[in-house]
Amino acid sequence: MTTRESRIYVGRLDGGVPAVYAVDATSVSRLHPGERFDWGADGGDAVQVLARALLTDAAGSAPHPDVAHRFSAQILSRLPRDGFALQRETVNAWLRRVVTV
């Protein structure tokens, strides 16, 4: 789990449809266009998809399914429905606390 340059993940509703963007010093790009993401308590399976995408992007490797499930339950399900911003370092800090080597 190494942190490259600073990055912020921004989730927002684009025309009522959840979308997540990766924002760094030089660019803004949509995270996995075409994937159905969601967050908040009522996000269903799409919250798991977002958890895997965020954890993979932040850490540089795919998480174990149990780790993605915990991230979605502990972090993503508590985010406000209208949008969020999470720093990559916050995601990696959560991983360091949860994943033991």
Confidence of residue 4 (pLDDT cuts 50, 70, 90): low
Map out the domains of the chain as residue ranges.
7-98
Q: What is the mean pLDDT of residues 86-100?
A: 93
Strand, coil or helix: 53: helix
User: Would you state the pLDDT for residue 1?
Assistant: 43
Cross-strand bridge partners of residue 83: 12
DSSP state of 84: E
Q: Are 95 and 1 in contact (CB under 8 A)?
A: yes
Distance of alpha carbon 72 from alpha carbon 5, whole angstroms: 24
Confidence of residue 5 (pLDDT cuts 50, 70, 90): confident
Q: What is the pLDDT of residues 31-81, one digit of tens each?
A: 998 889 999 988 889 999 999 999 999 999 999 999 999 999 999 999 999
pTM recorded for the entire structure? 0.90
